[in-house]
Structures are given as structure tokens and as C-alpha cells.
């Protein structure tokens, strides 16, 4: 019974595809999968926007949206209908293109932003047997298509002919390039231990239980460090507070999409949130067991429910961080990436190697934890000593 | 030869042609990114998925970004008023046309090119990793050394000249 | 025309375009882009010969392309650093104006 519920989407897909002729089956199957992603994740995005405003309101001791429910009825849903008027508003607003803007590049930037983000969902395992393309080098695919987002950010910032847009784009690119390195290096540890770049294999490797507790990678020393590094880097990659310098409202209006309005602005907004969900999904898959359950007596809950609830839990932590932490300064951001996260990620790779080759008993826990604590203490002290509270010195190309 | 192959080939070549002929440098860099994506798509159709994604990761994700940064740092983002071509551009075009004619003639008339198509080879990530760690381990190490040397060299070249006296002040901030 | 010949023709044309751009354009960055295009044409050749050649299981061409990409990354980094250094000295990146070895 629970197995059937778990596989209900897979069964439905097979059932639907069995009605089309043999020749069209791969195309129709791909179409249904695309429709699934396009229906579910923008839906999650719509709910997240309301949730974000409500949680931020709670943190800042105010209400947040609580009026709009289902339109034309008296049902209010605690304000969770807010995304419908928001969507209608952004769809019907005037689309302003600055006169000096580079029209073609200005038009193409939101499209180039959205395509790689949507494509990266193709390799994420949403549930048991629920990966759209079970590709051999899925992790490489994910990082490769993620690289195209930087190009779109640059296109948006440069084509607007606005100094705030260009500043935001340069900040965003510098930040994304810097934080991509710890992101990839922290994912490398998982690849080393599992021995595969296939994301389904990585989830399968974590789907074992000892004393009723799952073998998630986050429950090992290297996995914990890897997860924390990945989490911080994914905050920076999705331009969230405390790394929201690219779109800091109080400094540069809205960063690279200052000159966008109406539907194009909505596309940027959507692309940013979908990118955030994708990278959180990857983090869940790599470190938090993907669609598996943390304890063995809850394995009857369907796998996609686990995936979505983990996703929403991490989204909640992201919103919580946004409501709590102040924004970093540019030099602090760069120092943190290059002088703390990068060395720690490299040491973590060494620790994962030691973990892989030592015998599976308490000694390897001791050795690995000792190395990580030592590295953390030394690097953290170095970071604190290098604090430069004096006047900043800028360095230009000329 | 599938129609998809023809389309990606045309897109690649158009991207390359625009990258070399547009006046505005940023447009050139973006056209270059299109050309590189097209080449990655060609790799995918030649059953070399790993190389295709590595191409996107390296060229679109890193080199294109590096080039647009260099364009903005050297203040050449606007289209110049003067001619963008060197004085001897006719000779250059002629030589490159000759190169293409020779290469095309050789490709179409060579007897060394196998006529029958072999079945698709398997290049899984595991095979590539095994090859890199066994047969090609020495080139891999040398590449690592070369990349380190190139990185240090690039940093030293791009550093400010009078950095000897200011080095102690700014604490090595990049 | 066999698929191999089609790939080789595309790569020959790509090489010719890259070469034409590298020798005719004035700006140093465009010369670098031309060189990258030529390098990619060579890579496409290697992959095509690996795919349609007699011993694809040896992965020689495949690995060669991976190494050549790493070299291209190193080359782009050093080349752009040189362009920025030249710009700092001469306030130009136009290759026609950079003729002297004297700083």
C-alpha cells in the first residue's frame, strides 16, 4: 500500500505513456516530466514568497501578508493567496526598456537566466526512481549548467547601461566565481566516498540504517564540514543574506536587475528562487540523504514527501538567516571565501580520503574529528587576526 | 548526419563568425559563449558527454566570464569609432580562406578517413577516471603543475608594479 | 559525406574563422578569442577522430581534449593578465599601438 503511494507518480507516468504510439514514447515521457517540474517548483516558489514575507514579519514582530485568500470568495487562507495578485500585478505591469539599453542583450538576459536553472532539475532525484534523466555524470552536469547563470547576470547588468546594474553584476559574478570553488570542492568529498557522480547512486549509498539511524553523509565528520561549507556557499550562490551584496537594496537599488520591470523582473525573481531550490536540492541529495528517511521506522512515508519537506526546512533556515544576519562587506566576503572556506574544503578532501581508507571503527572518528577541529581552529584564528579594521585600499586595473 | 547535428554546426559557426566580426567587444564575448555552447552540443552528439559538460564548465563558466571581466577592466566595452581591423586585413582573410580551402580539400579527398562508422564507444566517468589515474597519470600531474605555475604567473603579471611598498599595508588583499 | 568528414569540415571552418579574426582584428582580447576558437577547432577534430577512429576504447583523443582544455584555461588566464598589464602601461589594448618592447 505504502509502496504504491511512494511510486504513484512513476506508475502514473508509465500508465500515461503506454497510451501513445511506441515511436513517440520518449518525447511524451520527457514532456510529462518537464510539465511536472514546471508545475511543482514554480508552485513551491509561489508558496515560498508568501512564507518568506510571513516569517520575516514574525521575526520583525509584525504580521506580514494576512488578507488575500482565494479571489472572489471569503476564504482567507491566512494570506497564502497573496502570490495570485502578486503574479497578476507583475504580468500586467508595463515592460520598460531604458533608451540607452542594449535591446537584444537586455531582452535575452532573463531567458538565459531561466533556462540553465530549469535544465539543472533534470538530474535531481526527487524521490525513489524519480530522476528525470539518470545521467552518469549528473553532478558535473549540474555544475556545468550552473556556470551559464553567471553569463546571464553579466548580460543583465551590462546591457542596462546603469552604473548600479553594472556594479551589482560585477559583485554577483565575483561572488559566484569565488564561492563556486568551495561549493564544488565540498561536493567532491561525497564523490570520493561514494565513487560515483550519479546522484541516484549517491542517494542509494545513504539509504542504509544502523540502529535505526540512516547513513547520511552529514552524520560523519567530513560530511558535517562538507555540508556546512556547501550550505554557506549555496547561500552565496543564490545571493541570499548575508551574501546579498549583488542586490543590496540600500546600496545599489536591486543590483543587476534594477532596470527590469514587469514580466522580465518576475522572470529574474523566479529564476533566482528556482536556482536556490535546485542548489538546496543538490545539497539535500549530497549530504542529507536525498529522499531517504532519517530513521528506519519512518520509511513508509513517501520519498517525495521527504524530499519536499527537507527542501522546505532548509528554505526556512535560509529565511531565518535572512531575518537575523546583517550583510557582509565586499572584502569580508572575499576573505571568507578564499582564506577560510577554500583551505577548509581542501583539508576536508584530505579527511574524506583518510576516512575512506581507515578501518571502520572509533579510531577514524577520532582522527578525522581531530584534523577538522585543528584546521578549523587555526583557520578561524587566522581569519580573525587578518581582520583589517583600518581604511580599505582599493586596487584598480590601471 | 542528423538535422540536429547540422543545426548545432550552423549555430556554432555563426557564433564564431559573429564573435570575430562584431564591433562591440562585449557582443563578441557573448557570441563566443554561444559558439562554445554549440561546440559542447557537438561533443554531446559525438558521445563525449563528459567532455561536453567540461567544455561548458570551463569555457562558458570560466573563460567567457574572465574575458568579459578583462574587457570591462581595460575599458573597451564600447564600440570604437576607428576601424577595428588591422591594416593588412585583406591578406589575413585571403590566408585564412586558403587554409580553409586546403583543409576542406584534404578532408573530402583523403583516403585515410575510414568510410564506415564504428559503433558508439563507451566513455563513462569511471572509464575516464581509470584512464586518468593509470595510463595518463603523469600528464595529469604535469597539468596540475602547469596550472599552478600559470596561476602564480598571472597573479604576478597582473599585480601592481609598485606593490613592494604597499604590500605591507593592505595585507595582501586581492 | 560521412559524419567524420562533416565534423572535420566544421572544425576546419571554425579554425579558418578563428584564424581570420586573430590576424585581422586590432584588439588584443579579440586575438585571444580567435586563438581560443582555433584551439576548440583542434579539440573538435580530436573528439571526432576518437569517436570514429579504430580504437575508441583507448580514450586517447578524449583525454587529450581534457588536457587541452586545462591548457586553454591556463593560457586564457595568463593572456588576460598580460593584456591588463599592457593596458596599465600604455593605456591601450590596441595591438597596432603596442609596437615597442621598451616600457
- Indicate the domain borders of chain C: 3-97
In whole angstroms, what is the distance from residue A176 CA to residue A63 CA?
A: 34
Chosen for mutation from B6, B27, B48 (greatest number of chain C CBs closer than 10 Å) is B48
Share the mean pLDDT of chain A: 84
Give B171's pLDDT tier (boundaries 50, 70, 90): very low
CA distances from residue A277 to A132, A310, A318, B146 in whole angstroms, order as listed: 16, 11, 11, 37
Which pLDDT belongs to residue C27? 83
Give the minimum alpha-carbon distance from A131 to chain B in angstroms, rounded to a whole number: 18
Position C40 pLDDT exceeds 90? yes
Report residue B38's pLDDT band, with 50, 70 and 90 as the boundaries.
very high
Contact A137 B72 (CB under 8 A): no
pTM: 0.86
- Establish if B95 touches chain C: CB-CB under 8 angstroms: yes
- State whether residue B141 sits within 8 Å of chain C by CB: no
* DSSP H or E stretch at residue B36: helix B25-45
Are C75 and B150 an interchain contact pair (Cβ–Cβ within 8 Å)?
yes
How much is the ipTM here? 0.87
In 3D space, the residue among A54, B143, B27, A152 whose CA is nearest the CA of residue C69 turns out to be: B143
Cβ distance C84 to B73 less than 8 Å, yes or no, reads: yes
More confident residue, B33 or A7: B33
Mark A23-39 as b/e (b = at least 16 C-beta within 10 Å). eeeeeebeeebeebbee
pLDDT score recorded for residue A26: 80
- DSSP class of residue A94? -
Q: Which of C8, C17, C93 sits opposite B74 (nearest CB)?
A: C93
d(CA B32, CA B63): 10
Candidates B43, B65, B70, B147: best to mutate against A (most CBs of A within 10 A) is B65
Residues B173, A151: C-beta atoms closer than 8 Å = no
Average pLDDT over residues A119-145: 85
Q: Which of the four pLDDT bands, split at 50, 70 and 90, describes residue A22?
A: confident
Can you read off the three cell numbers belonging to residue B33? Answer: 559563449
Of A212 and A122, the one with more pLDDT: A122
pLDDT band with cut points at 50, 70 and 90 for residue A392: low
Does residue B1 register a pLDDT over 50?
A: yes
Q: Which chains touch B (3 or more CB pairs under 8 A)?
A: A, C
Q: Can you tell me the distance from the alpha carbon of A243 to that of A345, in angstroms, rounded to the nearest whole number?
A: 19
**pLDDT at res. A394:** 66
A284/chain B closest Cα distance in angstroms: 22
Assess contact for C53 and C8: CB atoms under 8 A: no
- Residue B173: in which H helix or E strand, if any? none
Write the DSSP symbol of residue B84.
Answer: S
Mean pLDDT of B146-172: 69
Which residues of A have a CB under 8 Å from any CB of C? 397-398
Which pLDDT value is given to residue C95?
74
Work out the minimum CA distance from C82 to partner chain A, whole angstroms: 12
- pLDDT of B166 reads 46
- Which of C19, C34, C50 shows the shortest C-beta gap to B99? C19
Give the residue-averaged pLDDT of A27-39: 84
Query: Which of A135, A151, A388 lies nearest to residue B33, judging by beta carbons?
Result: A151
The answer, yes or no, to whether residue A147 has pLDDT greater than 60, is yes
Domain ranges of chain A: 2-384
**Lowest model confidence (mean pLDDT) among A60-64, A318-322, C45-49, C87-91:** C87-91
pLDDT of residue B169: 44
Q: What is the pLDDT of residue B35?
A: 92
pLDDT for B152 beyond 60: yes
pLDDT confidence of residue A157: 87
B4, B61, B71, B126, best to mutate vs chain A, most A CBs in 10 Å: B61
Instruction: Retrieve residue A354's grid coordinates.
Output: 583518510
Burial class (CB in 10 A: 0-12, 13-18, 19+), A185: buried
**What is the band of A213 on the pLDDT scale with cuts at 50, 70, 90?**
confident
Out of A236-250, B102-116, B151-165, C41-55, least confident range: B151-165
| Residue A229: predicted pLDDT | 92
Least confident of A95-109, A246-260, B91-105, C77-91: A246-260
What's the pLDDT at A231? Answer: 92
In this predicted model, which residue has the larger pLDDT, C53 or A321? A321
Q: Inspect the interface and report whether the beta carbons of B61 and A144 lie closer than 8 Å.
A: yes
Predicted local distance difference test score (pLDDT) of residue B167? 44
Looking at residues C69-83, what average pLDDT do you find?
89
Peptide bond into A242 cis (omega under 30): yes
Residue B79 confidence (pLDDT): 67
Across the range A266-280, mean pLDDT stands at: 89
pLDDT confidence of residue B170: 45
- B145 pLDDT exceeds 90? yes
If pLDDT is split at 50, 70 and 90, which confidence band does B165 have?
A: very low
Q: Is the pLDDT of residue B174 over 60?
A: no
Choose between A147 and A276: higher pLDDT. A276
What is the model's pLDDT at position B61? Answer: 84
Instruction: Report the distance separating Cα C47 and Cα C51, nearest Å.
Output: 6
Percentage of chain B with pLDDT > 70?
85
Report residue C41's pLDDT band, with 50, 70 and 90 as the boundaries.
very high
Residue B26 pLDDT more than 50?
A: yes
For the domain made up of B1-78, the CATH class stated in words is mainly alpha
Q: Which of A148-152, A379-383, A390-394, C33-37 has the lowest mean pLDDT?
A: A390-394
Angstrom CA distances, B4 to A119, B9, B32, B41, stand at 19, 8, 20, 10
Query: Apex CA A122: angle with CA A159 and CA C72, to 5°?
Result: 55
The minimum CA-CA distance between C46 and chain B, rounded to whole Å, is 11
CATH class of domain segment(s) C3-97: mainly alpha
Amino acid at each position: 500500500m505504502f509502496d504504491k503511494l511512494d511510486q504513484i507518480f512513476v506508475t502514473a507516468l508509465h500508465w500515461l505513456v503506454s497510451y501513445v504510439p511506441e515511436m513517440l514514447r520518449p518525447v511524451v515521457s520527457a514532456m510529462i516530466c518537464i510539465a511536472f517540474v514546471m508545475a511543482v517548483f514554480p508552485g513551491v516558489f509561489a508558496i515560498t514568497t508568501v512564507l518568506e514575507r510571513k516569517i520575516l514579519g514574525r521575526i520583525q514582530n509584525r504580521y506580514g501578508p494576512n488578507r488575500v485568500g482565494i479571489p472572489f470568495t471569503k476564504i482567507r487562507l491566512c494570506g497564502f493567496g497573496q502570490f495570485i495578485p502578486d503574479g497578476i500585478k507583475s504580468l500586467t505591469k508595463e515592460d520598460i526598456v531604458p533608451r540607452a539599453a542594449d535591446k537584444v542583450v537586455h531582452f535575452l538576459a532573463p531567458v538565459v537566466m531561466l533556462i540553465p536553472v530549469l535544465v539543472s532539475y533534470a538530474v535531481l532525484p526527487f524521490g525513489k526512481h524519480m530522476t528525470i534523466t539518470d545521467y552518469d555524470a549528473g553532478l558535473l552536469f549540474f555544475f556545468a549548467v550552473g556556470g551559464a547563470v553567471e553569463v546571464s547576470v553579466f548580460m543583465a547588468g551590462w546591457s542596462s547601461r546603469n552604473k548600479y546594474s553594472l556594479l551589482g553584476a560585477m559583485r554577483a559574478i565575483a561572488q559566484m566565481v569565488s564561492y563556486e570553488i568551495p561549493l564544488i570542492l565540498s561536493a567532491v568529498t561525497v564523490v570520493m566516498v561514494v565513487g560515483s557522480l550519479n546522484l541516484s547512486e549517491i542517494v542509494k549509498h545513504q539509504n542504509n540504517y544502523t540502529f535505526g539511524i540512516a547513513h547520511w553523509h552529514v552524520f560523519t565528520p567530513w560530511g558535517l564540514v562538507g555540508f556546512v561549507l556547501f550550505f554557506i556557499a549555496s547561500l552565496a550562490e543564490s545571493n541570499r543574506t548575508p551574501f546579498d551584496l549583488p542586490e543590496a537594496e540600500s546600496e545599489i537599488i536591486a543590483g543587476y536587475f534594477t532596470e527590469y520591470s514587469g514580466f522580465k523582473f518576475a522572470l529574474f525573481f523566479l529564476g533566482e528562487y528556482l536556482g536556490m531550490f535546485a542548489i538546496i536540492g543538490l545539497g539535500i541529495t549530497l549530504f542529507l540523504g536525498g529522499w531517504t528517511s532519517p530513521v528506519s521506522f519512518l520509511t513508509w512515508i513517501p520519498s517525495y514527501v521527504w524530499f519536499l519537506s527537507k527542501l522546505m526546512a532548509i528554505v526556512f533556515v535560509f529565511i531565518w538567516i535572512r531575518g537575523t544576519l546583517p550583510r557582509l562587506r565586499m572584502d569580508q566576503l572575499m576573505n571568507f571565501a578564499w582564506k577560510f572556506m577554500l583551505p577548509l574544503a581542501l583539508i576536508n578532501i584530505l579527511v574524506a580520503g583518510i576516512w575512506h581508507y581507515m578501518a571502520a571503527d572509533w579510531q577514524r572518528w577520532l582522527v578525522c574529528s581531530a584534523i577538522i577541529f585543528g584546521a578549523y581552529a587555526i583557520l578561524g584564528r587566522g581569519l580573525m587576526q587578518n581582520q583589517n579594521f583600518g581604511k580599505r585600499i582599493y586596487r584598480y586595473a590601471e | 548526419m542528423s538535422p540536429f547535428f547540422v543545426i548545432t554546426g550552423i549555430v556554432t559557426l555563426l557564433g564564431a563568425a559573429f564573435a570575430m566580426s562584431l564591433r562591440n567587444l562585449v557582443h563578441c564575448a557573448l557570441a563566443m559563449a554561444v559558439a562554445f555552447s554549440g561546440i559542447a552540443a557537438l561533443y554531446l552528439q559525438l558521445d563525449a558527454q563528459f567532455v561536453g559538460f567540461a567544455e561548458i564548465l570551463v569555457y562558458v563558466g570560466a573563460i567567457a566570464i574572465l574575458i568579459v571581466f578583462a574587457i570591462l577592466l581595460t575599458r573597451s566595452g564600447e564600440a570604437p569609432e576607428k576601424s577595428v581591423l588591422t591594416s593588412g586585413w585583406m591578406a589575413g582573410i585571403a590566408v585564412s580562406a586558403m587554409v580553409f580551402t586546403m583543409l576542406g580539400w584534404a578532408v573530402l579527398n583523403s583516403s585515410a578517413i575510414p568510410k564506415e562508422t564504428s559503433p558508439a564507444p563507451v566513455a563513462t566517468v569511471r572509464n575516464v577516471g581509470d584512464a586518468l589515474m593509470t595510463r595518463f597519470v603523469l600528464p595529469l600531474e604535469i597539468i596540475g603543475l602547469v596550472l599552478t605555475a600559470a596561476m602564480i604567473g598571472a597573479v604576478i603579471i597582473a599585480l601592481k608594479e609598485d606593490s613592494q611598498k604597499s604590500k605591507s599595508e593592505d595585507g595582501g588583499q586581492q | 559525406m560521412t559524419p567524420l568528414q562533416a565534423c572535420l569540415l566544421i572544425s576546419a571552418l571554425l579554425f579558418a574563422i578563428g584564424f581570420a579574426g586573430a590576424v585581422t582584428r586590432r584588439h588584443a582580447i579579440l586575438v585571444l578569442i580567435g586563438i581560443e576558437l582555433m584551439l576548440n577547432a583542434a579539440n573538435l577534430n580530436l573528439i571526432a577522430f576518437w569517436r570514429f577512429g579504430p580504437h575508441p576504447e583507448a580514450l586517447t583523443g578524449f583525454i587529450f581534449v581534457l588536457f587541452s582544455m586545462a591548457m586553454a584555461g591556463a593560457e586564457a588566464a595568463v593572456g588576460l593578465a598580460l593584456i591588463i598589464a599592457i593596458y596599465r602601461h600604455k593605456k591601450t589594448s590596441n595591438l597596432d599601438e603596442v609596437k615597442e618592447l621598451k616600457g
